[in-house]
Amino acid sequence: MRTVLAALFGALALAACAGADDAPGESEDEIARRTRRYVDVSAESPMTGVPRDKILRALVKIDRVARESRDPLRRAIATETLARIEGGDVLLGSIQASRGIDRWHMCKDEEAKACDGPAPASDDRTWSGDAALARTLEQDLAGYQWGNRIYFTLSSATDVSELAATLVHEVNHVANRSECSYYRVIDAHVVEPDRAYVEEHRAFLAECLFGDEGATVPSCAKYAASRVAEYGFDAKLSRVLPGGSDDPAKLAELVVAGESSRDAPFGRLVPKKSVFPRSFGACR
């Protein structure tokens, strides 16, 4: 699998960089977009056309923040997110082309009949479900993350700035292996609300800090709390935070503090290579 992905990455990099001088009249943004790259989850059905263009435009947005932001934390989030995507540590693809264990987990979240019964193996990349599932995913699912794979449904209506922020959010999930904390019973997708709250709050915190040069940890803690409230988790932070605190702002402070500590019990904001998971097999 690693060999196939390495070959695919090389092909994508060459495709993105080839012919940089043979299209006079291109804007700086167009040239920059062609020099960005990513690895597609599916070598057989990679994103093309509008979806691929949207991803590349979003990577340009992230790159601009990485180069131009004056805030060190914002710059680090952007720099390391871009590095994990362009280095192939995180794979991007279309929901339509999803297969195997990832598609099975999508099916479980949608509570579709196609995934009744035992789960495929954690390395399965062939399971596809049925036509009813395909219709459901196409209609209902805008994005999905499992392991180091992130899937999207993208169209001409997709806002590139929002997509860039979503990539930051989802790469944070990948870096922290959120799926391994999210569920009390992973194969049945029974959510563990307290830990799921932590996973989403941290990812929204990263998204917010990336998205606004003037953002602060307190303002982003409020943003993250408001977004996680939309999930309807029956969570009590007092069960996971020290001192029995129920304050989401305290959670944000502890996440930020973890960036300068060897111990980060609530996960990390910056997806640095040194703390990135080395493999993405079954959760233990």
Query: pLDDT value at position 6?
Result: 28
Residue type, 52: R
Buried-exposed string 172-183: b where 16+ CB fall within 10 A, e elsewhere: bbbbbbbbbbbb
Query: pLDDT value at position 10?
Result: 30
Structure tokens belonging to residue 187:
């194969």
- pLDDT tens, the chain, 284 aa long: 222 222 233 323 323 333 333 344 556 566 666 689 999 999 999 999 999 999 999 999 999 999 999 999 999 999 999 999 999 999 999 999 999 999 999 999 999 999 999 999 988 999 999 999 999 999 999 999 999 999 999 999 999 999 999 999 999 999 999 999 999 999 999 999 999 999 999 999 999 999 999 999 999 999 999 999 999 999 999 999 999 999 999 999 999 999 998 889 999 999 999 999 999 988 98
Query: pLDDT value at position 220?
Result: 98
DSSP-based helix, strand, coil % in the chain, nearest 5? 55, 5, 40
Structure tokens belonging to residue 234:
């029956």
Which among 170, 212, 155 is positioned nearest to 81, based on CA atoms? Answer: 170
Query: pLDDT value at position 97?
Result: 96
Query: pLDDT value at position 282?
Result: 87
Task: Please give the DSSP secondary-structure letter assigned to residue 238.
Answer: G
Residue type, 270: V
